[in-house]
Amino acid sequence: MKILVINCGSSSLKYQLIDSETEKAIAVGLCERIGIDGRLVHTPAGREKLVLEKVLPDHDAAVQAVLSALTDSGHGVIGSLAEIDAVGHRVVHGGERFTKSVVIDDDVLQAIRECNDLAPLHNPANLIGIDACRKLMPGVPMAAVFDTAFHQTMPKKAYTYALPYEYYEKYKIRRYGFHGTSHSYVSRRAAEVAGLDYGNSKIIVCHLGNGASVSAVLNGRSVDTSMGLTPLEGLIMGTRSGDIDPAIIEFISKKEQKSLDDIMTLLNKKSGVYGMSGVSSDFRDLEAAATGGNQHAKDATEVFVYRTAKYIGSYAAAMNGVDAVVFTAGLGENDKVIRERICGYLGYLGVTVDAERNNIRGKEAVITTDDSRVKALVIPTNEELAIARDTAALVSGLQ
């Protein structure tokens, strides 16, 4: 089957056309600056990347541009749209309603809409992408794959905030967690690579990218994760603060005469390693600055490493042990120094990194010594493939 995977943001749309039999991407691409001016970057597998400056006034235009690129006689990869068997959409928030991926119908769309309050920046954009695809590909089955779904197995003790209970009852304020597609894919794959029985294993996944989260996966089910009601909780990220004392919000508001909106922007977009260092949200820039003697950049990476190590320790406690610690996403897959520094805090758990094995980028590997009691691994995430797999399985069930 050929599955088109769509990840729609407010002004961007990422896509991959994946062959579900070979599990290879036939084409990947990105529409940027939707509603501003517009740009399409389209890469057919094994061929030159194509950059098209194209006016993209809205998401309908972006989806149309993607479909034209895929079927183009020059740089296209399929003869006609009839070759697309199904579309898989990434949806950020599925609330408590969605515990797994589903085939999209009108009821599902309404239920996703009802989660908009929980993810006001993301879900409306995801819905716009779904609407645009339904309009331009009528009759093609579509699935929604949720970032929150994998974490719906968290027990109440892990998802409950110490707030008056009425806020959970009235507004469903609780911890949900995100990056679920990645945590699910990576934990399962790590068990295979490490030779563990997934159904009888204790795995901690560190998804360290611009957004970052840790999860505790016990016997194949998420039992805790560091993001909460929104992706702001937990680890320090590129520009997000992660955990802070909530009283800081009032303190800054009074001292700096800032509105709540201003402070939320500060915590989401101007904090994290970017805010701490004043240099960049990108660890490559931070490490270059630190090497050049920038103390703020050095401190920012140390605070990041320390927080991550503390979360790993708390999840080892939550599961009463750990078999494997797994690194994924941009930083986790590529930065051997950060991996080594995090593992430097984990000697008490029995993690011993092998410097040579850790000297890799972007490929699957065990990075600990043979006698390390707990294995550490690098597993590149592949959220698009996970979405394509779920979509293919759901659509096969329809036939």
Give the interface with ligand AMP as residue ranges (CB under 6 A). Answer: 209-210, 238, 281-284, 329-331, 334-335
Comparing CB distances to ligand AMP, the nearer of 28 and 329 is 329
Shortest distance in whole angstroms from residue 165 CB to ligand AMP = 35
Q: Are 145 and 215 in contact (CB under 8 A)?
A: no
Distance (Å, rounded) from C-alpha 47 to C-alpha 60? Answer: 27
Shortest distance in whole angstroms from residue 362 CB to ligand AMP = 8
Comparing CB distances to ligand AMP, the nearer of 143 and 289 is 289
Comparing CB distances to ligand AMP, the nearer of 135 and 284 is 284
Distance (Å, rounded) from C-alpha 138 to C-alpha 284? Answer: 44
Comparing CB distances to ligand AMP, the nearer of 9 and 95 is 9
Q: How many degrees, rounded to 5, is the angle at CA 12 between CA 268 and CA 332?
A: 55
Which has the closest alpha carbon to 6: 111, 108, 86, 120?
86
β pairing state of 142-146 and 86-91: parallel
How far are the Cα atoms of 3, 96, 159, 337 from residue 103, in angstroms, in the given order?
14, 17, 27, 42
Question: Is 245 annotated as catalytic?
Answer: no
> b/e per residue, 135-158, with b = 16+ CB within 10 A?
eebeebbbbbbbbbbbbbebeeeb
Shortest distance in whole angstroms from residue 328 CB to ligand AMP = 8
Joined together, the tokens standing for residue 320 give 């009463």
Shortest distance in whole angstroms from residue 202 CB to ligand AMP = 24
Shortest distance in whole angstroms from residue 285 CB to ligand AMP = 8
Using CB positions, name the residue nearest to ligand AMP: 330
Comparing CB distances to ligand AMP, the nearer of 128 and 329 is 329
Shortest distance in whole angstroms from residue 20 CB to ligand AMP = 24
Q: 108: which DSSP letter?
A: H
Q: Are 289 and 279 in contact (CB under 8 A)?
A: yes
Q: Are 151 and 229 in contact (CB under 8 A)?
A: no
Q: Are 28 and 18 in contact (CB under 8 A)?
A: no
**Catalytic annotation, pick one of 19, 106, 131, 147:** 147
Alpha helices by DSSP H, the chain: 59-71, 106-114, 123-136, 156-159, 165-171, 180-194, 247-256, 260-269, 272-277, 283-291, 295-318, 329-334, 336-343, 383-398
Catalytic positions, please? 147
